[in-house]
Amino acid sequence: MALFAARGFAGCCSISRSVFTNSRHGFYQTRRNRLFVVANKPYTSLSATEQFKIRLIKTEEEFQSIIINALVKEGWRPGLNDAECFMACDPTAAFVGELNGKPLGCVTMTKYGDSFAFGGCYIVSKEYRGKGYGRKIRKAVFARVRPPRSIGIISGLPQSEEMNKREGFHSQFYGALFVFNIQTTMAFFPETSKRFPVKIKRIEEVNLEALLMYDTTVFGFERHAFLSKWLRMAGSHTRLAIDSEGSIVGYTVARPTLIKESYKIGPLFADSEVVAEMLLKAVFEELLRVDLVSVVCIDAPTQKATKLCERLQGKRSFELVYMVMDDLPDARFDKWFGYTTVQLG
């Protein structure tokens, strides 16, 4: 997969290495008309005999067979139960483009409230890249969230960032994907956290409503339906940090992926770097104890988060940048140490 176009047309994207990068330079012009300037450009690659349509993906089964399978083919690590969770987040976010009834590409645009949407998966089958199909799917999906909604994406560096800037996006935070070997990392957790007045607990030990409120504050939008499934996925491990006053000061989820002996961390929200370390250590210890896990991945969103991952001996895989068109969401990005997923922000 590529962070929106590393491999050919738009490699793939759980946000691929160039998130929405293959748009033409004139695709975004003004705040009000940028979504429509290519509407009258002909797609000369489409013949009169071809029947091409774009439709909503309505079921978890379709999401699994079309989007999740595409992510796997492109070399990403979707979770075992991602389809169910993604559909719960926004059941109207995923679209597929079909040529004569055959799926050839897909795009997701997850809507958060009335003011923000996040562009995630953008995948076109290799044999159909460069023929205009991806542009048509993307244009149709973008039109559904036209202003007043702002749009966020995660882009790869460096070429993708520059292309997205020309299309109206603005870079906000620089991070990277990190891959960890648990056994190696365990030796690099500092001892100072033992004296920190925070306790790590399981989800069964805390008030769920308090956790949902914490997530809304840090993420910037309410997403209770999504979290009700995300927090309790089969095989997942959720840990929360509680301070001396009984308040939640961080949480994280580790979920199994479709790659054998591999887990993905996300989100990793914490009020401080020490709390983030404590949460990671608790999860890593649990994975060592109950599962044969060799690899854990984290999408670190900011420079502060990448420094933490580097200190814990994570291997930097590729660069990420969080970009927005129009307004940045009202989130506590200073508390983001790991994206929930690059598909959902």
What pLDDT, on the 0 to 100 scale, is given for residue 142?
Answer: 84
Question: Mind listing the pLDDT tens digit of every residue in the chain (345 residues)?
Answer: 334 433 322 333 333 333 333 332 332 223 333 322 233 333 435 555 679 999 999 999 999 999 999 888 887 789 999 999 999 999 999 999 999 999 999 999 999 999 999 998 888 999 998 898 988 998 899 888 878 789 999 987 777 788 789 878 999 999 999 999 998 999 998 876 667 889 999 999 999 999 999 999 999 999 999 999 999 999 999 999 999 999 999 999 999 999 888 999 999 999 999 999 999 999 999 998 876 788 999 999 999 999 999 999 999 998 999 999 998 999 999 999 999 999 999
Q: Which fold, 175-318+326-338?
A: Aminopeptidase (3.40.630)
At residue 202, the 3 state secondary structure works out as strand
What pLDDT, on the 0 to 100 scale, is given for residue 135?
Answer: 82
Level-2 CATH architecture, domain 25-173: 3-Layer(aba) Sandwich (3.40)
Give how far Cα 222 sits from Cα of 209, 215, 270, 291, 331, Å: 12, 8, 18, 32, 11
Residue range(s) of every CATH 3.40.630.90 domain in the chain: 175-318+326-338
On the CB side of 224, CA atoms within 13 Å amount to 7
What pLDDT, on the 0 to 100 scale, is given for residue 105?
Answer: 93
What pLDDT, on the 0 to 100 scale, is given for residue 12?
Answer: 35
The answer to whether residues 258 and 297 touch, using CB atoms and an 8 Å cutoff, is no
Task: Report the distance separating Cα 185 and Cα 281, nearest Å.
Answer: 9
Q: How many residues does the chain have?
A: 345
Residue range(s) of every CATH 3.40.630.30 domain in the chain: 25-173
What pLDDT, on the 0 to 100 scale, is given for residue 10?
Answer: 32
Task: Report the distance separating Cα 279 and Cα 301, nearest Å.
Answer: 17
Task: Report the distance separating Cα 306 and Cα 337, nearest Å.
Answer: 8
End-to-end CA distance of the chain: 17
